[in-house]
Structure 1
Amino acid sequence: MTLLQIRDLKKSYSSPEGGSQLVVDVPAFDLAARRQVALEGRSGSGKTTFLNLIAGILKPDSGSIVFDGVELVGAGEARRDAFRASHMGFVFQAFHLLPGHTALENVELGMLFGPGPGRAFAEHLLERLGLTDRMRYRPPQLSLGQQQRVALARALANRPQLVLADEPTGSLDVHHAGEALALTRELCSEQGAALLLVSHDAAVLGAFETRLDLAQLNRAAAEVRA
């Protein structure tokens, strides 16, 4: 079953020299439910913009984004935010954890914007990620690897249908990157969530059976490379 269907998606930004610069031009992209796909995203390939468009954080200039039968393009910001909270999880490279809140509170805060299962499930996720004794710690008291796992728990807190991951291991060393990637894939599989991950790391990309070059999907990036 197709979970995500994208057609003729375009997004441009204003150029400092005047005019506009096309950064995303994706004629077609489909993602099946529960599928795990890695996108190779080099610098300038539009990878972050592409994920933000799917998540509804950004609004495209034109095109279609259909998620589980629902057309998202044309929806207002509030509706896009609510839909994302209920159906998608996002793992950022910089984690974006709130430093004044504990690991458990950071996961619970993610549940405020959607139909979250509650504290017991937040605790379960952190336990599953090996953070049983770190739930009451704040992000500055955690290692980068532990912060990444908190960010993953937050992304999974509302039992999303799709997890979007933007360079999720970019801040980690090789050992912790491999560990974090394995946990991400394992938990997405357990929860039945599709995973769309972008990275430029060959080791990360090599762990996926399905790998696509974003520059081949995104005609705007292909033109920049040329």
Structure 2
Amino acid sequence: MLRGMNLLEIEGLAKSYLDPEGRRQDVLRVESLAVGEGEQMALRGRSGSGKTTLLNLIAGLGLPDAGHIRIGGTEITTLSEAARDRFRARHLGYVFQTFNLLQGYTALENVVLGMAFGPGRDRSAAQGLLERLGLGDRLHYRPGQLSVGQQQRVAVARALANRPRLVLADEPTGNLDPTHAGEALELMRSMCTDAGAALLLVSHDEAVLERFDRCVDLSDINTARPATAEATR
């Protein structure tokens, strides 16, 4: 059993899928993983290693076949889908690899709308976050009018808008050039530190991974060996 001041605790996690031929393919088998309160941890994962699946399970976007995922002492695998949605909105932030911004809404509206699923919309707080991220002059720009780096900062603001205890980041700098990737990463880490949020980031970029004091290789803790890389991400 995992113990201590852990915010996230995973035990005996297993997930599989059916391939197009109807065969069951293992994706994840993780005996244990923990992230402490306020800790910033990187998870190394090549394409097809199951890293996105792992983050999605932690976020409650799906359920494992077996195992436990506890966040702040709450066992999320026993919650209903609606309860997982509420829990995620109140306690988790997620920076998706493709950002998942709503294209028909401005930067400010994207952050405000994200707040609606948590404690409630706070336009002033959303604007303050975007201004801290250097987007004070881009509040009313839609994603298509922003650079990739600016879109990434909007995604970070949205992820932090509800003051989450844990931020998940899936290859958050994968679409940026090395210079902007480093700047964006340090900005995200400093924002998490200021908010007191733990950060679990997955990446295959060694330049990103080497910035973290704690980096775990997913291949070391995932004993599943998918037959096809297409089964996982």
Q: TM-score range by the shorter chain?
A: over 0.9
Any idea what the Cα deviations from partners look like across 1:125-144, whole Å, max 9, x if unmatched?
Answer: 10100000000111110000
SS in 2 for 1:187: helix
What does 1:75-224 align with in structure 2 at a 5 Å threshold? 75-116=79-120, 118-221=122-225
Change (3 A) 1:24 1:50: same
SS in 2 for 1:64: strand
CA RMSD of aligned residues (A): 1.4
CA distance in 2, matches of 1:208, 1:110: 28
Any idea what the Cα deviations from partners look like across 1:75-116, whole Å, max 9, x if unmatched?
Answer: 110000110000000001101111110000000010011114
Q: 1:13 aligns with which of 17, 21, 26?
A: 17
1:45 aligns with 2:73: no
TM-score scaled by length of structure 2: 0.94
CA distance in 1, matches of 2:126, 2:109: 9
Aligned-partner residue type, residue 176 of structure 1: H
Q: Point out 4+ residue stretches in structure 1 off by more than 6 angstroms.
A: 222-225
Aligned-partner residue type, residue 143 of structure 1: S
CA distance in 2, matches of 1:224, 1:26: 18
CA distance in 1, matches of 2:38, 2:226: 28
CA distance in 2, matches of 1:31, 1:153: 22
* Residue pair 1:39, 1:196 contacting (<8 A) in 2 also: yes
Q: CA deviation at 1:117?
A: 6.3
CA distance in 1, matches of 2:188, 2:24: 37
Aligned-partner residue type, residue 87 of structure 1: H
Q: 1:29 aligns with which of 23, 27, 33?
A: 33
CA distance in 2, matches of 1:121, 1:154: 11
SS in 2 for 1:212: strand
Q: CA deviation at 1:178?
A: 0.7
TM-score scaled by length of structure 1: 0.96
Q: What residue ranges of structure 1 are gaps of 5+ in the alignment? A: none
CA distance in 1, matches of 2:212, 2:226: 23
CA distance in 2, matches of 1:30, 1:10: 16
Q: What residue ranges of structure 2 are gaps of 5+ in the alignment? A: none
Any idea what the Cα deviations from partners look like across 1:32-67, whole Å, max 9, x if unmatched?
Answer: 010000000101110000000000001111111111
SS in 1 for 2:13: strand
Any idea what the Cα deviations from partners look like across 1:165-209, whole Å, max 9, x if unmatched?
Answer: 000000111111111101010000000000000000010001101
Aligned-partner residue type, residue 151 of structure 1: A
SS in 2 for 1:220: coil
* Residue pair 2:69, 2:77 contacting (<8 A) in 1 also: yes
* Residue pair 2:167, 2:200 contacting (<8 A) in 1 also: yes
CA distance in 2, matches of 1:187, 1:4: 20
SS in 2 for 1:109: helix
Aligned-partner residue type, residue 8 of structure 1: G
SS in 2 for 1:114: coil
Aligned length: 225
1:54 aligns with 2:58: yes
